[in-house]
Amino acid sequence: MTDVADSPSVRRLSAWDAAELQTLVDEYGSPLYVLDLERVRQNYRRLAAAFPDADILYAVKANALGDALAALHEEGAGLECASAGEVQRALEAGASGSEVHYTAVNPPARDLDWIVDAWHDNPELTVTVGSEDTIDRLADRGYDGRLCLRVNPGIGAGHHEKVQTGAAAKFGVPAERAVDVLEDAADRGFDVVGIHSHVGSGVSSDQLDSHREFVARMGDLAREVSEALRASDSRTGSEATREASEAVGPLEFVDVGGGFGVPYREDEAPLDLASVADATREALGEIDARLTIEPGRYFVADAGVLLTDVNTVKAARDTTVVGVDAGMTTLIRPAMYDAYHPIRNLTADLDADERETIPQTVAGPICESGDVFCADRELPATERGDVLAIGNAGAYGYEMANQYNSRPRPASVVLEDGDARLARRRETVDDVTQPEREAHNGSETDRKTDDHPAVSDTDNQRVR
pLDDT tens string 134-149: 999 999 999 999 999 9
For residue 438, pLDDT over 70 is answered with: yes
Catalytic status, residue 367: yes
Backbone angles phi, psi at 423, to 5 degrees: -105, -20
Is 92 annotated in some ligand binding site? no
Distance, in Å, from the CA atom of 146 to the CA atom of 123, rounded to the nearest integer, reads 8
Domains of the chain: 104-295 (3.20.20.10), 302-429 (2.40.37.10)
For residue 461, pLDDT over 90 is answered with: no
How distant, in Å, are the alpha carbons of 93, 340, 407, 414 from that of 67? 8, 26, 24, 8
**252 close to 290: Cβ distance less than 8 angstroms:** yes
For residue 238, pLDDT over 90 is answered with: no
Is 295 annotated in some ligand binding site? yes
Question: What is the pTM assigned to this prediction?
Answer: 0.89
Nearest partner of 388 among 2, 32, 6, 3, judged by Cα: 32
Average pLDDT over residues 103-121: 96
Is 334 annotated in some ligand binding site? no
Half-sphere exposure of 385 (CA within 13 A, CB side): 1
Q: What share of the chain is helix, strand, coil (3-state, %, to 5)?
A: 40, 20, 40
* pLDDT for 154: 73
Q: How far is residue 126 CA from its own chain's centroid?
A: 18
pLDDT bin (cut points 50, 70, 90) of residue 166 is very low
Distance, in Å, from the CA atom of 326 to the CA atom of 30, rounded to the nearest integer, reads 8
Is 31 annotated in some ligand binding site? no
Percent of the residues in the chain that have a pLDDT greater than 70, as a whole number: 84
Average pLDDT over residues 442-463: 52
How distant, in Å, are the alpha carbons of 122, 189, 243, 249, 395 from that of 240? 29, 11, 5, 15, 47
Average pLDDT over residues 405-425: 97
